[in-house]
Amino acid sequence: MTQQRPLGLGTHIFVPDPDAAVEFYRAAFGATELIRHTLPDGRILFVELAFGPDKLLISQEISELDALAPATVGGSPVMLLLELDDVDTTFDDAIARGATVERPVAEMFWGERYGIVRDPFGHRWALCTRRELLAPDEVAERVPSQEAEIASWADARLESDD
């Protein structure tokens, strides 16, 4: 058996319009299309995208294969994490291209500049840039200890929903 890619964990998402999703991920996040497989009836079985060294598979929503997009199942509990050189520019680009803000970009206690968007296809993306390289004990020292601090995170998310 020939091994075509390294073993490991991959991500595979489903969207109603793969062509629009590929274009959004290319324009907003810098993804590059690597492979595309189409079924004889024209539906897209999958597209493999590269985000730097990482890969993402996108498939067209096909109910008979139980390949269902977030809108069909009432949303997605999964969040994709994309580490970037410039989170602010990418975040703004994603919003300009139709993503919605879930959490505005802010400095976080774990040493990253971090924000969350929901793309036009219902998938959630945490976008971040490392600002400090912290040891685990340094992060632990910075974890908010008061409920008021934790509530301020929720308030930032609620304000972005308005």
Tens-digit pLDDT profile for residues 63-118: 999 999 999 999 999 999 999 999 999 999 999 999 999 999 999 988 999 999 99
List pLDDT tens digits, range 7-35.
788 899 999 999 999 999 999 999 999 99
Domains and CATH numbers, the chain: 11-161 (3.10.180.10)
- 162 has a pLDDT exceeding 60: no
Dist. CA 75–CA 149, nearest whole Å: 27
Whole-number Å distance between alpha carbons of 67 and 12: 10
Q: In this predicted structure, what is the pLDDT of residue 40?
A: 96
The predicted pLDDT at position 63 comes to 93
